[in-house]
Amino acid sequence: MYPDELIPTWGVTPGKNEVNRNKWDRIDSGDVTLFSANGHIFSSGVVTVKLHNRELAEQLWGFNNAGETWEYIYFLDEIQQHQIPYLQFNQIAGYADNFIIQGFSVLTSERSERILEAFDLKSEVYLPDVSEEEYQNEVIRITAADDLDIAHSGTRRKEQPFLRRQLFKNRKHGHCGICGKMYPVNLLIAAHIKNRSKCTQEEKLDYKHIVMPMCKFGCDDLYEKGYIFIQNGAVRRNMRKMATPDLTNKLVELEGLICGHWNEGTQPYFEWHADIHNKVTI
Protein backbone atom coordinates (compact mmCIF):
# COMPACT_ATOMS: atom_id res chain seq x y z
CA MET A 1 0.00 0.00 0.00
CA TYR A 2 2.89 2.37 0.83
CA PRO A 3 5.91 1.17 -1.19
CA ASP A 4 8.03 4.17 -0.15
CA GLU A 5 7.12 3.56 3.52
CA LEU A 6 5.97 7.18 3.85
CA ILE A 7 2.47 7.18 5.34
CA PRO A 8 0.42 10.41 5.41
CA THR A 9 -1.15 10.33 8.86
CA TRP A 10 -3.80 12.40 10.60
CA GLY A 11 -5.51 12.16 13.95
CA VAL A 12 -8.09 13.84 16.16
CA THR A 13 -8.44 14.21 19.90
CA PRO A 14 -11.43 12.63 21.66
CA GLY A 15 -12.98 16.08 22.04
CA LYS A 16 -15.44 17.29 24.64
CA ASN A 17 -17.82 14.47 25.56
CA GLU A 18 -15.97 12.42 22.89
CA VAL A 19 -17.65 14.37 20.11
CA ASN A 20 -14.65 13.89 17.79
CA ARG A 21 -14.44 10.20 18.58
CA ASN A 22 -18.11 9.78 17.57
CA LYS A 23 -17.40 11.51 14.26
CA TRP A 24 -14.26 9.43 13.73
CA ASP A 25 -16.35 6.27 14.21
CA ARG A 26 -18.25 7.21 11.05
CA ILE A 27 -15.13 7.27 8.88
CA ASP A 28 -14.53 4.32 6.53
CA SER A 29 -11.91 3.26 4.02
CA GLY A 30 -12.44 5.19 0.79
CA ASP A 31 -13.75 8.31 2.52
CA VAL A 32 -12.14 11.58 1.47
CA THR A 33 -10.58 14.01 3.94
CA LEU A 34 -10.43 17.71 3.06
CA PHE A 35 -7.95 20.13 4.62
CA SER A 36 -8.72 23.84 4.76
CA ALA A 37 -7.22 27.12 5.94
CA ASN A 38 -7.26 30.81 5.01
CA GLY A 39 -10.58 30.70 3.20
CA HIS A 40 -10.05 27.70 0.95
CA ILE A 41 -9.61 23.93 0.80
CA PHE A 42 -5.99 23.31 -0.07
CA SER A 43 -5.62 19.51 0.01
CA SER A 44 -7.44 16.18 0.09
CA GLY A 45 -6.56 12.58 0.84
CA VAL A 46 -8.33 9.23 0.78
CA VAL A 47 -8.65 7.23 3.99
CA THR A 48 -6.97 3.84 3.75
CA VAL A 49 -6.90 2.58 7.35
CA LYS A 50 -7.99 3.95 10.70
CA LEU A 51 -6.92 2.91 14.19
CA HIS A 52 -7.17 4.02 17.79
CA ASN A 53 -3.65 4.16 19.20
CA ARG A 54 -2.92 6.59 22.02
CA GLU A 55 0.72 5.55 22.35
CA LEU A 56 1.44 6.17 18.68
CA ALA A 57 -0.27 9.56 18.86
CA GLU A 58 1.83 10.54 21.87
CA GLN A 59 5.02 9.67 20.00
CA LEU A 60 3.95 11.52 16.86
CA TRP A 61 2.35 14.65 18.25
CA GLY A 62 2.58 14.82 22.04
CA PHE A 63 -0.29 16.54 23.87
CA ASN A 64 -2.38 19.68 23.53
CA ASN A 65 -2.96 22.17 26.34
CA ALA A 66 -5.88 20.12 27.63
CA GLY A 67 -3.69 17.05 28.01
CA GLU A 68 -5.27 15.29 25.05
CA THR A 69 -3.47 13.59 22.19
CA TRP A 70 -4.68 12.95 18.64
CA GLU A 71 -5.26 9.26 19.31
CA TYR A 72 -8.06 8.61 16.81
CA ILE A 73 -5.84 8.11 13.81
CA TYR A 74 -6.34 7.50 10.11
CA PHE A 75 -3.85 6.92 7.31
CA LEU A 76 -4.24 8.60 3.94
CA ASP A 77 -3.23 8.12 0.32
CA GLU A 78 -3.88 9.79 -3.05
CA ILE A 79 -2.97 13.21 -1.66
CA GLN A 80 -4.04 16.02 -3.99
CA GLN A 81 -3.51 19.77 -3.91
CA HIS A 82 -6.51 22.06 -4.44
CA GLN A 83 -7.54 25.69 -4.44
CA ILE A 84 -11.25 25.49 -3.64
CA PRO A 85 -12.70 28.69 -2.12
CA TYR A 86 -15.10 28.28 0.80
CA LEU A 87 -17.83 29.99 -1.23
CA GLN A 88 -17.65 27.39 -4.00
CA PHE A 89 -17.56 24.54 -1.47
CA ASN A 90 -20.52 25.99 0.45
CA GLN A 91 -22.66 26.45 -2.63
CA ILE A 92 -22.10 22.86 -3.77
CA ALA A 93 -22.51 21.34 -0.30
CA GLY A 94 -25.63 23.38 0.42
CA TYR A 95 -24.27 25.57 3.23
CA ALA A 96 -24.82 29.29 3.63
CA ASP A 97 -22.37 31.35 1.57
CA ASN A 98 -20.67 32.69 4.70
CA PHE A 99 -20.23 29.28 6.37
CA ILE A 100 -16.66 28.83 7.66
CA ILE A 101 -15.13 25.36 7.96
CA GLN A 102 -13.88 24.85 11.49
CA GLY A 103 -12.53 21.96 13.50
CA PHE A 104 -13.19 18.33 12.65
CA SER A 105 -16.50 17.41 11.03
CA VAL A 106 -18.00 14.65 8.90
CA LEU A 107 -20.42 15.61 6.15
CA THR A 108 -23.73 13.87 5.58
CA SER A 109 -23.79 11.30 2.79
CA GLU A 110 -25.82 13.66 0.59
CA ARG A 111 -23.41 16.56 0.97
CA SER A 112 -20.43 14.25 0.59
CA GLU A 113 -21.78 12.90 -2.68
CA ARG A 114 -22.18 16.41 -4.10
CA ILE A 115 -18.61 17.37 -3.19
CA LEU A 116 -17.09 14.11 -4.43
CA GLU A 117 -18.88 14.41 -7.78
CA ALA A 118 -18.17 18.12 -8.24
CA PHE A 119 -14.42 17.80 -7.66
CA ASP A 120 -13.91 14.23 -8.89
CA LEU A 121 -12.49 13.05 -5.57
CA LYS A 122 -13.69 9.45 -5.47
CA SER A 123 -10.98 6.83 -5.26
CA GLU A 124 -11.05 3.78 -7.50
CA VAL A 125 -8.50 2.01 -5.30
CA TYR A 126 -9.76 2.52 -1.76
CA LEU A 127 -13.43 1.64 -1.79
CA PRO A 128 -16.16 1.63 0.85
CA ASP A 129 -16.31 -1.55 2.89
CA VAL A 130 -19.59 -2.98 1.60
CA SER A 131 -20.60 -6.29 3.16
CA GLU A 132 -21.91 -9.22 1.15
CA GLU A 133 -25.29 -8.77 2.86
CA GLU A 134 -25.43 -5.08 1.86
CA TYR A 135 -24.54 -6.03 -1.71
CA GLN A 136 -27.25 -8.69 -1.81
CA ASN A 137 -29.86 -6.31 -0.42
CA GLU A 138 -29.00 -3.66 -2.99
CA VAL A 139 -29.16 -6.11 -5.90
CA ILE A 140 -32.53 -7.42 -4.70
CA ARG A 141 -33.91 -3.90 -4.26
CA ILE A 142 -32.71 -2.69 -7.66
CA THR A 143 -33.97 -5.83 -9.41
CA ALA A 144 -37.39 -5.30 -7.85
CA ALA A 145 -37.38 -1.68 -9.01
CA ASP A 146 -36.41 -2.80 -12.53
CA ASP A 147 -39.25 -5.33 -12.56
CA LEU A 148 -41.72 -2.60 -11.56
CA ASP A 149 -40.16 -0.05 -13.95
CA ILE A 150 -39.36 2.29 -11.05
CA ALA A 151 -36.67 4.92 -11.55
CA HIS A 152 -33.70 4.40 -9.25
CA SER A 153 -31.01 6.73 -10.56
CA GLY A 154 -27.84 6.68 -8.46
CA THR A 155 -28.86 3.77 -6.24
CA ARG A 156 -26.07 1.38 -7.30
CA ARG A 157 -23.59 3.03 -4.96
CA LYS A 158 -22.87 -0.18 -3.06
CA GLU A 159 -22.92 -2.62 -5.97
CA GLN A 160 -19.94 -1.29 -7.94
CA PRO A 161 -17.65 -0.71 -4.92
CA PHE A 162 -18.39 -4.25 -3.72
CA LEU A 163 -17.63 -5.80 -7.10
CA ARG A 164 -14.45 -3.75 -7.55
CA ARG A 165 -13.20 -4.75 -4.10
CA GLN A 166 -13.80 -8.39 -4.98
CA LEU A 167 -11.73 -8.01 -8.15
CA PHE A 168 -8.96 -5.64 -7.07
CA LYS A 169 -8.86 -5.86 -3.23
CA ASN A 170 -7.49 -2.30 -2.86
CA ARG A 171 -4.60 -3.02 -5.23
CA LYS A 172 -3.47 -0.09 -7.35
CA HIS A 173 -2.83 -2.19 -10.46
CA GLY A 174 -4.55 -5.12 -12.10
CA HIS A 175 -4.63 -7.19 -15.28
CA CYS A 176 -7.23 -6.93 -18.00
CA GLY A 177 -9.07 -10.24 -18.34
CA ILE A 178 -8.99 -9.98 -22.14
CA CYS A 179 -5.58 -8.65 -23.24
CA GLY A 180 -3.80 -9.60 -20.02
CA LYS A 181 -1.99 -6.25 -19.77
CA MET A 182 -1.43 -4.58 -16.41
CA TYR A 183 -2.96 -1.15 -15.84
CA PRO A 184 -3.84 1.14 -12.94
CA VAL A 185 -7.21 0.04 -11.62
CA ASN A 186 -8.79 3.36 -12.60
CA LEU A 187 -8.32 2.15 -16.19
CA LEU A 188 -10.02 -1.18 -15.50
CA ILE A 189 -13.75 -1.84 -15.36
CA ALA A 190 -15.60 -4.41 -13.27
CA ALA A 191 -17.35 -5.71 -16.38
CA HIS A 192 -20.22 -8.18 -16.38
CA ILE A 193 -19.40 -11.29 -18.42
CA LYS A 194 -23.08 -11.69 -19.21
CA ASN A 195 -24.80 -8.37 -19.87
CA ARG A 196 -26.02 -7.12 -16.52
CA SER A 197 -29.41 -6.12 -17.92
CA LYS A 198 -29.94 -9.73 -19.05
CA CYS A 199 -28.88 -11.32 -15.75
CA THR A 200 -31.40 -12.85 -13.41
CA GLN A 201 -31.30 -11.80 -9.79
CA GLU A 202 -29.54 -15.05 -8.94
CA GLU A 203 -26.89 -14.38 -11.60
CA LYS A 204 -26.30 -10.82 -10.35
CA LEU A 205 -25.73 -12.24 -6.87
CA ASP A 206 -23.11 -14.66 -8.24
CA TYR A 207 -20.44 -12.00 -7.77
CA LYS A 208 -17.53 -14.44 -7.76
CA HIS A 209 -18.22 -15.41 -11.37
CA ILE A 210 -20.35 -12.77 -13.08
CA VAL A 211 -17.69 -10.03 -13.41
CA MET A 212 -14.11 -9.74 -14.59
CA PRO A 213 -11.70 -6.82 -15.13
CA MET A 214 -11.56 -5.33 -18.61
CA CYS A 215 -9.46 -2.38 -19.68
CA LYS A 216 -10.67 0.92 -21.10
CA PHE A 217 -8.25 0.64 -24.03
CA GLY A 218 -10.76 -1.19 -26.19
CA CYS A 219 -11.24 -4.59 -24.59
CA ASP A 220 -14.37 -3.64 -22.65
CA ASP A 221 -16.06 -2.13 -25.71
CA LEU A 222 -14.99 -4.92 -28.06
CA TYR A 223 -16.35 -7.54 -25.68
CA GLU A 224 -19.57 -5.70 -24.87
CA LYS A 225 -20.35 -5.07 -28.54
CA GLY A 226 -19.56 -8.65 -29.49
CA TYR A 227 -16.49 -8.14 -31.66
CA ILE A 228 -14.74 -10.68 -29.46
CA PHE A 229 -15.96 -13.51 -27.26
CA ILE A 230 -14.40 -16.21 -25.10
CA GLN A 231 -14.56 -19.82 -26.28
CA ASN A 232 -13.01 -22.69 -24.34
CA GLY A 233 -10.90 -20.22 -22.39
CA ALA A 234 -9.45 -18.30 -25.35
CA VAL A 235 -10.29 -14.99 -27.03
CA ARG A 236 -12.00 -15.38 -30.41
CA ARG A 237 -12.96 -12.71 -32.88
CA ASN A 238 -16.49 -12.62 -34.20
CA MET A 239 -16.28 -13.16 -37.95
CA ARG A 240 -19.92 -12.11 -38.28
CA LYS A 241 -19.09 -8.51 -37.37
CA MET A 242 -17.96 -6.05 -40.01
CA ALA A 243 -14.57 -4.52 -39.19
CA THR A 244 -12.29 -1.92 -40.71
CA PRO A 245 -8.68 -2.92 -41.50
CA ASP A 246 -7.44 -1.13 -38.37
CA LEU A 247 -10.03 -2.84 -36.20
CA THR A 248 -9.18 -6.19 -37.76
CA ASN A 249 -5.54 -5.68 -36.79
CA LYS A 250 -6.63 -5.03 -33.21
CA LEU A 251 -8.82 -8.14 -33.16
CA VAL A 252 -6.02 -10.29 -34.57
CA GLU A 253 -3.77 -9.10 -31.72
CA LEU A 254 -6.30 -10.36 -29.18
CA GLU A 255 -7.34 -13.58 -30.88
CA GLY A 256 -6.01 -16.69 -29.21
CA LEU A 257 -5.04 -15.03 -25.94
CA ILE A 258 -5.88 -17.14 -22.90
CA CYS A 259 -8.54 -15.75 -20.58
CA GLY A 260 -7.57 -16.52 -17.00
CA HIS A 261 -11.13 -15.94 -15.81
CA TRP A 262 -12.53 -18.91 -17.71
CA ASN A 263 -13.53 -21.60 -15.22
CA GLU A 264 -16.44 -23.84 -14.34
CA GLY A 265 -18.26 -20.99 -12.59
CA THR A 266 -17.83 -18.40 -15.35
CA GLN A 267 -18.26 -20.73 -18.33
CA PRO A 268 -22.08 -20.42 -18.59
CA TYR A 269 -21.83 -16.62 -18.71
CA PHE A 270 -19.12 -16.65 -21.37
CA GLU A 271 -21.15 -19.14 -23.40
CA TRP A 272 -24.25 -16.94 -23.14
CA HIS A 273 -22.23 -13.98 -24.44
CA ALA A 274 -20.71 -15.98 -27.30
CA ASP A 275 -24.06 -17.44 -28.27
CA ILE A 276 -25.97 -14.16 -28.26
CA HIS A 277 -23.39 -12.38 -30.44
CA ASN A 278 -22.99 -15.21 -32.91
CA LYS A 279 -26.71 -15.45 -33.62
CA VAL A 280 -27.04 -12.12 -35.40
CA THR A 281 -25.23 -11.03 -38.54
CA ILE A 282 -24.49 -7.31 -38.61
* Domains in the chain: boundaries: 9-119, 132-277
**Cα→Cα distances 58→18, 62, 70, 195, 229, Å:** 18, 4, 8, 53, 58
User: Which tens digits make up the pLDDT trace of 190-232?
Assistant: 999 999 999 999 999 999 999 999 999 999 999 999 999 999 9
User: Which tens digits make up the pLDDT trace of 58-115?
Assistant: 999 999 999 999 999 999 999 999 999 999 999 999 999 999 999 999 999 999 999 9
Average pLDDT of the chain, as a whole number? 92
pLDDT at 3: 78
pTM over 0.85: no
Residue 146 — very low, low, confident or very high, per pLDDT cuts 50/70/90? low
Residue 281 — very low, low, confident or very high, per pLDDT cuts 50/70/90? very low
